């Protein structure tokens, strides 16, 4: 799986107070661990990597679900909601914004 190999090659990815440790697949926000699932980590990695650009549902489907968007829209929404909740518990400095008709972007 090339996508996983790309993530592991980068040691860490940092945006403001958010740090993704790619080798251990841990997320830290303000130096506190944020518990995320593997899929949530991949989704957050994509948003951080593309920040401040908008990431479309199609891009998310290509990256997370091997290109299958049909039927995965509710799943994307659920994972975005879960990430928002988990990040908000640790800090108000990071947010995932919905851009109607376009996708999502990470604000830091």
Label residue 83 by pLDDT band (50, 70, 90): very high
Q: pLDDT band at 1, cuts 50/70/90? A: very low
- pTM greater than the 0.85 cutoff: no
Measure the CA angle with vertex 65, ends 63 and 71; round to 5°: 130
Q: How far apart are CA 93 and CA 87, in angstroms?
A: 9
pLDDT tens for 13-46 read: 888 899 999 889 999 999 999 999 999 999 999 9
Taken in order of first residue, the domains within the chain and their CATH numbers are 2-107 (1.10.10.10)
């Amino acid at each position: 799986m090339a996508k996983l190999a790309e993530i592991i090659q980068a040691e860490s990815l940092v945006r403001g107070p958010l740090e993704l440790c790619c080798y251990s697949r841990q997320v830290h926000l303000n130096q506190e661990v944020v518990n995320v699932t593997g899929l949530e980590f991949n989704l957050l990695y994509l948003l951080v990597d593309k920040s401040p650009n908008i990431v479309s549902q199609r891009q998310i489907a290509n990256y997370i679900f091997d290109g299958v968007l049909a039927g995965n829209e509710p799943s994307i929404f659920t994972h975005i909601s879960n990430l928002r909740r988990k990040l908000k518990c640790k800090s108000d400095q990071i947010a995932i914004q919905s851009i109607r008709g376009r996708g999502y972007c990470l604000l830091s």
